[in-house]
Amino acid sequence: MAVKTPIYMDNNATTPLDPRVLEAMMPYLTTHFGNAASKNHSFGWAAEAAVEKARQQIGQAMGASPKEIVFTSGATESDNLAIKGAAEMYREKGNHIITATTEHKAVLDTCHYLETQGYDVTFLTVDHTGMVSPEQVEAAITDKTILISLMAANNEVGTIHPVAEIGKVAKKRGVLFHCDGVQAFGKIPLNVDETGIDLLSISGHKIYGPKGVGALFVRRRGPRVSLSAQMHGGGHERGMRSGTLNVPGIVGLGAAAELAMQEMPTEGPRITALRDRLQQGIVSQLDQVNLNGHPTQRLPNTLNLSFAYVEGESLMMRMKDIAVSSGSACTSASLEPSYVLKALGVGDDMAHSSLRFSLGRFTTQEEIDFAIERVVRAVRELRELSPLYEMAREGIDLKQVKWK
Amino acid sequence: MPYNEKVLDHFNNPRNMGSMDKAARDVGTGIVGAPECGDVMKLQIKVDDSGVITEAKFKTFGCGAAIAASSLATEWLKGKTLDQAGELKNTELAHELALPPVKIHCSVLAEDAVKAAIEDWKRKNAAPAETALATEEMQGKTKT
């Protein structure tokens, strides 16, 4: 069995560009180099037409009108624009924002920044599967609440929030609903009208498009949402986001969105089957492996496991032909274990022992089988090396040990 | 984490991995770190009558640098007297492995493990009754 290594299983971090997307982009990197804001010659018109096509493709993929799509440099900017833009615009209405502790840093840090500007933020806690309930959201709403910001699906554990139910609560209480759709968009159906989402952030490079491009859906009817611009300049994107449009990137995002929607009916079941094969293959051969995240309400490509008694960084080093990520502190710049796993109530010890496998469009069954073999072997080897495993086998309760 | 060749070598081919009988009188055991911190090292030394370390073993739960630092420490300990072993500095381990700044704590932990093993041996060989209690405590058998 010939498997080409290294194997990439970190598609929630980023994805490779689909060759078909690159093909769509190529002319706009070369011959059609015009500025989409140049209204008086064919170079500009070609660029503008390409951008409008992408707007259409993206709108269609989420059930929005093309006019509701604002292009950005990526989802971090989309989250910033949505949250700060809405907070500033609706400041007179209120100063309260609701989000959750497992959100991406682009949302959390933006909210922390707003706290320094006189806003109140409620950070909802999640249950052990990573879920926020609509009841929790409703209970947190006050007469000062102007925005709810909750992700569609979590990047680390893949848990899918009940977005439509949260959207209903938001609508009923007249509060705007921003959703970070980066991980969910293109992987599972996400329709802005069915879910009542008012602002939706997406990113190109998570869906086999290019890096450096993203978009924000900004609802125009029922309600019409206004945002205070965060980037000032030439008044592009209806004044909401100035800056010359990244035409090749936008073309790529549009093509990637269209492809993702076309392939979802076949790709969803395929990737779910591969993910389940990976999970089964590992847990059937190893004891003391815990699933992090929701057992069923989970992205089809995501598998986050904790391997007791083994540390994540060394595990990744031992299975070095497979690219994954870990919630271990040793792999983060902050030297803290994953805050998402912490929020789920996963102990620090098990957070250090976690690996996230995120499969993608180009993952094959051969790669899955290769990964199963490698992971199982690496965990066994490192458990042989682990004093904790030895102590546990001797019947020592590690929780009772006084560590020095 | 981009590691130096020496770290990778120790990580991929750990020296002196294993365990010795921690109840044995000539064996000193040091267990340092905590699972919550992502590092636990167990380092053991066997000491002969003349006070020379004849054998050293380790098991480590931790990152690549922690495993490499403890592996290297066991290599250095063999043939040393207890006094010489007590002088082992984390900086020497860190230097030898060219550890990046964020991984210096792994070499500190290895030094602590060596010191703890020496202490355990000394305690055992001074007053056996105390040792049994200390070992039990470390194993979590003593309910608090």
Q: Render pLDDT for B53-95 as a digit per residue (tens, 0 to 9).
A: 999 999 999 999 999 999 999 999 999 999 999 999 999 999 9
Pairing of strands A289-292, A120-124: unpaired
Alpha-carbon span A78 to A84, nearest angstrom: 10
**Chain A: residue nearest B104 by CA?**
A330
B17/A394 CB distance under 8 A: no
Task: Please check whether residue A313 touches B, CB under 8 A.
Answer: yes
Every domain range in chain A assigned CATH 3.40.640.10: 19-260
Chain B residues contacting A via beta carbons under 8 Å: 1, 3, 8, 11, 14, 17, 19, 31-42, 59-64, 66-67, 102, 116, 137-141, 143-144
pLDDT at B144 over 60: no
A390/B59 CB distance under 8 A: yes
Q: What average pLDDT does range B34-61 have in this prediction?
A: 96
A15-53: buried (b, 16+ CB within 10 Å) or exposed (e) per residue? bebbeebbebbeebeeebebebeeeeeeeeebbbebbeb
Instruction: Measure in Å the smallest separation between the Cα of B79 and chain A Cα atoms.
Output: 23
A400/B102 CB distance under 8 A: no
β strands within chain B, DSSP E? 27-34, 39-47, 53-61
Residues of A in contact with B33 (CB under 8 A): 403-404
A314/B1 CB distance under 8 A: no
A68: tokens are: 């509701």
Does residue B111 contact residue B77 with C-beta atoms inside 8 Å? Answer: no
Alpha-carbon span A13 to A103, nearest angstrom: 15
A329/B139 CB distance under 8 A: no
B35/A329 CB distance under 8 A: no
Q: Which CATH number fits domain A19-260: 1.10.3660.10, 3.40.640.10, 3.30.300.160, 3.30.930.10?
A: 3.40.640.10
Model ipTM?
Answer: 0.87
Alpha-carbon span A357 to A322, nearest angstrom: 9
B61/A387 CB distance under 8 A: yes
**Chain B: residue nearest A346 by CA?**
B36
> How confident is the model at residue B132, as a pLDDT?
53
Positive/negative CA dihedral, A265, A269, A272, A278: negative
**Preceding amide of A223 cis, omega within 30:** yes
Per-residue pLDDT of chain A (404 residues; tens, 9 = 90+): 579 999 999 999 999 999 999 999 999 999 999 999 999 999 999 999 999 999 999 999 999 999 999 999 999 999 999 999 999 999 999 999 999 999 999 999 999 999 999 999 999 999 999 999 999 999 999 999 999 999 999 999 999 999 999 999 999 999 999 999 999 999 999 999 999 999 999 999 999 999 999 999 999 999 999 999 999 999 999 999 999 999 999 999 999 999 999 999 999 999 999 999 999 999 999 999 999 999 999 999 999 999 999 999 999 999 989 999 998 877 666 678 999 999 999 999 999 999 999 999 999 999 999 999 999 999 999 999 999 999 999 999 998 898 87
Instruction: Measure in Å the smallest separation between the Cα of A345 and chain B Cα atoms.
Output: 13
Task: Please check whether residue A311 touches B, CB under 8 A.
Answer: yes
The CA-atom distances, in angstroms, between A289 and each of A46, A95, A195, A286, A386 are 54, 43, 35, 7, 15
Task: Please check whether residue A145 touches B, CB under 8 A.
Answer: no
Task: Please check whether residue A39 touches B, CB under 8 A.
Answer: no
B36/A348 CB distance under 8 A: yes
A330: nearest Cα among B81, B31, B105: B105
Mutation pick from A288, A311, A336, A354 vs chain B, by most beta carbons of B within 10 Å, is A311
A328/B140 CB distance under 8 A: no
Does residue A230 contact residue A73 with C-beta atoms inside 8 Å? Answer: no
Q: Which CATH number fits domain A7-13+264-400: 2.40.70.10, 3.90.1150.10, 1.10.10.60, 2.40.110.20?
A: 3.90.1150.10
B60/A386 CB distance under 8 A: yes
Every domain range in chain A assigned CATH 3.90.1150.10: 7-13+264-400
> How confident is the model at residue A330, as a pLDDT?
72
Q: Could you list the active site residues of A? A: 330
Residues 6+ apart with CB under 8 A from A111: A83, A97, A99, A103, A119, A121, A123, A149
SS3 assignment, position A232: coil
**What is the number of structural domains in chain B?**
1
Task: Give the closest of B19, B31, B67 to A314, CB-based.
Answer: B67
Q: Could you list the active site residues of B? A: 37, 106
- What is the pLDDT confidence band of residue B135, given thresholds at 50, 70 and 90? low
CATH code at B62? 3.90.1010.10
Task: Give the closest of B14, B64, B143 to A313, CB-based.
Answer: B64
SS3 assignment, position A385: coil
Residues of B in contact with A399 (CB under 8 A): 140
The structure's pTM equals 0.93
**Chain B: residue nearest A342 by CA?**
B36
B44 forms beta bridges with B29, B57
> How confident is the model at residue A404, as a pLDDT?
73
> How confident is the model at residue A297, as a pLDDT?
98
Alpha-carbon span A52 to A71, nearest angstrom: 11
> How confident is the model at residue A256, as a pLDDT?
98
Alpha-carbon span A97 to A88, nearest angstrom: 12
> How confident is the model at residue B130, as a pLDDT?
52
**Chain B: residue nearest A394 by CA?**
B139
What is the domain range of residue B101? 5-143
Relative orientation angle of helices B104-126 and B64-77, to the nearest 10 degrees: 40
Alpha-carbon span A7 to A11, nearest angstrom: 11
Residues of A in contact with B63 (CB under 8 A): 311, 313-314, 328, 330
Alpha-carbon span A48 to A250, nearest angstrom: 11
pLDDT at B136 over 70: no
**Chain B: residue nearest A320 by CA?**
B12
Task: Please check whether residue A379 touches B, CB under 8 A.
Answer: no
B140/A401 CB distance under 8 A: yes
Terminal C-alpha separation, chain A: 47
Q: Which helix (H) or strand (E) holds A202?
A: strand A199-203
Instruction: Measure in Å the smallest separation between the Cα of B33 and chain A Cα atoms.
Output: 6
Instruction: Measure in Å the smallest separation between the Cα of B17 and chain A Cα atoms.
Output: 7
Backbone angles phi, psi at A227, to 5 degrees: -130, 145
B141/A314 CB distance under 8 A: no
Does residue A37 contact residue A236 with C-beta atoms inside 8 Å? Answer: yes
